[in-house]
Amino acid sequence: MKSVLKAYLYYIKVIALFLLLPATAQAQADSLRAQRKPFFPRLLNGITEFFMGCDTNYITPQKYQFTTQAELSYWHDFYRLRSSETGNTMTIQSVPSVVLGGYIYYSILGYGISWNLGDIGKPKGQTNGTSMRQGLVLNTAKIFAEVYTYTSGKSARITQLTNFNFKGYDRSFTGLNSKVFGLQAFYIFNNRHFSWPAAYGENAVQRRSCGSWNLGFQYNHQTVTFNDEELPDYLKPTMDPTLLFNRVDYNDYSVSIGYSFNWVPRRNLLLAISLQPSVGYRCSNIEEANQKHNILNNVSTDLTTRASVVWNNTKMFSGLILELHTYSYRREKFGLTNTYGTLKLVVGFNFLRKKQ
């Protein structure tokens, strides 16, 4: 009798469990569903983790959604013209510009704009040329990319000319102008331990010294115009005509393999340097004496150098950033090298802390 009763009780438990199981599973599913975040916040967190994931022993990732960054920049560029026929050279340097601007970031995306303070109030045609620079930035642990545009030149000085002594002469020259549109992107190989944003984007903090190789691609479209009518009168009779041109217009496609290193001498302080030599293909046009020549097979070699000193406590940051870019144009009888550099003082603030 007892064995029959135990069998009945066993079957009752099995039936009860069978009846209650769907309700229990539904309750657990409802609980998990209630705990899950909405789709778009989960999608954003997943994208951020993919791009900004890192070893936190080496890097403290960005803890805030928004970053505002103010910049006070010192711009300077020079042009070196060379004639292969005569060996003569001429160097023109822009009047140094003080530029004010900044960036605003949302997560890994940023937009920057800046204006030349020296151009304010000056009529068009008399400005220093760097009146406005704009850039759209993707700044992540794995990938850095930027689209930018700017102008330079116009207000300049002739600092060197072969076989001519400028002592006592006015060297001012307003006939040079350069317009640039560019795209650059590169991949950081050691992205779990090395932080590019910590050195040049300020949306992360490097905790241990580390370096990384990087592989990049650059596209640069530059137009340089030269108005020889603006040359000083005392130069026109003796000027080497092979140094003169009306317009150089080129598209440059290049690949770079560079190395960057972040040194952390003390907590929240970073010293960084990056060298990115590049080799590529340049399709160029030059106009001289109203004649246009197409140059279709031209290998380009350029160099981009960056260095920075940054203090960042994750909430606030400040630093100095140096950038140098060199672009060279050459053909059988003429060469033009354009180098420009910027020294930036940056101060920024992070806000709207992310939910952990």
Q: Which string of DSSP letters, residue by residue, matches 309-340?
A: EEEE-SSEEEEEEEEEEEEEEE-SSEEEEEEE
CA atoms of 108 and 38, how far apart (whole Å) = 21
| Spatial contact of 212 and 189, defined as CB atoms under 8 Å apart | yes
Per-residue CA distances from 175 to 18, 82, 97, 125 (Å):
89, 18, 17, 9
What per-residue confidence (pLDDT) applies to 147? 94
For a pLDDT cut of 70, what percent of the chain falls above it?
78
Question: Sorting pLDDT into bands at 50, 70 and 90, what band is 327?
Answer: confident
Residue 33 confidence (pLDDT) above 50? yes
CA atoms of 20 and 15, how far apart (whole Å) = 9
Residue 93 confidence (pLDDT) above 90? no
Lowest model confidence (mean pLDDT) among 107-116, 145-154, 301-310: 145-154
β-bridge mates for residue 260, sequence order = 212, 274
Q: Is 117 helix (H, G, I), strand (E, B) or coil?
A: helix
What per-residue confidence (pLDDT) applies to 61? 87
More confident residue, 154 or 245: 245
What per-residue confidence (pLDDT) applies to 156? 80
Backbone angles phi, psi at 18, to 5 degrees: -65, -40
The listed range with the strongest mean pLDDT (19-23, 29-33, 82-86) is 82-86
| Spatial contact of 331 and 298, defined as CB atoms under 8 Å apart | yes
Q: Is 35 helix (H, G, I), strand (E, B) or coil?
A: helix
Provide the greatest CA pair distance for the chain. 129
Q: Which string of DSSP letters, residue by residue, matches 197-245?
A: HHHHT-SEEE-S-EEEEEEEEEEEEEEEEE-GGGS-TTTGGG--GGG--
H or E element that contains 261: strand 247-266
| Residue indicated by tokens 């000319």 | 161
- Give the number of other Cβ atoms within 10 Å of residue 239's Cβ: 17
CA atoms of 126 and 148, how far apart (whole Å) = 23
| Spatial contact of 178 and 151, defined as CB atoms under 8 Å apart | yes
Strands 132-139 and 109-116: antiparallel
Let me know if domain 55-353 sits in CATH 2.40.128: yes
For a pLDDT cut of 90, what percent of the chain falls above it?
26
Question: Sorting pLDDT into bands at 50, 70 and 90, what band is 296?
Answer: very low
| Residue indicated by tokens 């022993």 | 57
CA atoms of 192 and 26, how far apart (whole Å) = 40
Question: Sorting pLDDT into bands at 50, 70 and 90, what band is 290?
Answer: very low
Question: Sorting pLDDT into bands at 50, 70 and 90, what band is 195?
Answer: very high
What per-residue confidence (pLDDT) applies to 295? 47
Question: Sorting pLDDT into bands at 50, 70 and 90, what band is 320?
Answer: very high
Question: Sorting pLDDT into bands at 50, 70 and 90, what band is 329?
Answer: low
| Spatial contact of 143 and 136, defined as CB atoms under 8 Å apart | no
What is the pTM assigned to this prediction? 0.75
Structure tokens at 99: 């530029």
| Spatial contact of 332 and 84, defined as CB atoms under 8 Å apart | yes
Lowest model confidence (mean pLDDT) among 32-46, 65-79, 207-221, 310-324: 32-46
CA atoms of 43 and 48, how far apart (whole Å) = 9
Residue 268 confidence (pLDDT) above 90? yes
Q: Where do the domains of the chain lie?
A: 55-353
Q: pLDDT averaged over the chain?
A: 79
| Spatial contact of 318 and 311, defined as CB atoms under 8 Å apart | yes
Structure tokens at 285: 């046009």
Could you say which DSSP state residue 122 is in? Answer: P
Residue 27 confidence (pLDDT) above 60? no
Residue 177 confidence (pLDDT) above 70? yes
